């Protein structure tokens, strides 16, 4: 079971925002609890944004993929 508050529509919007305004921010991340682990997608990475826009999958699969990493508070 997973909890994915950042669905595809929100991830796509955040991807567009990061592409347009990313240089103004230190980081832009999407965070979600997946399989009882907090996972993060770094939206400043072009490969992450491309996957969000073009991969045919549920948002949770992006967090589970090689693009998502375990969230470490304070980093």
| Domain extents in the chain | 8-58
Tokens standing for residue 29: 């991340």
Q: Say what the pLDDT of residue 6 is.
A: 60
Model pLDDT for residues 16-70, shown as the tens digit of each residue: 999 999 999 999 999 999 999 999 999 999 999 999 999 999 999 999 999 999 9
Q: What is the pTM of this model?
A: 0.85
User: What are the residues facing 32 on neighbouring strands?
Assistant: 39
pLDDT band at 72 (very low <50, low <70, confident <90, very high): confident
Look at residues 47, 44, 57, 37 and name the one whose alpha carbon lies nearest to residue 14. 44
The answer to whether residue 4 scores a pLDDT higher than 50 is: no
């Amino acid at each position: 079971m997973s909890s994915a508050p950042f669905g595809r529509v929100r991830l796509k919007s955040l991807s567009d925002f990061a592409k347009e305004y990313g240089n103004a921010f230190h980081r832009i991340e999407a965070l979600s609890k997946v399989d009882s682990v907090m996972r993060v997608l770094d939206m400043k990475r072009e490969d992450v944004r491309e996957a969000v826009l073009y991969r045919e999958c549920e948002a949770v699969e992006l967090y589970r993929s090689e693009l998502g990493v375990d969230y470490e508070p304070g980093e």
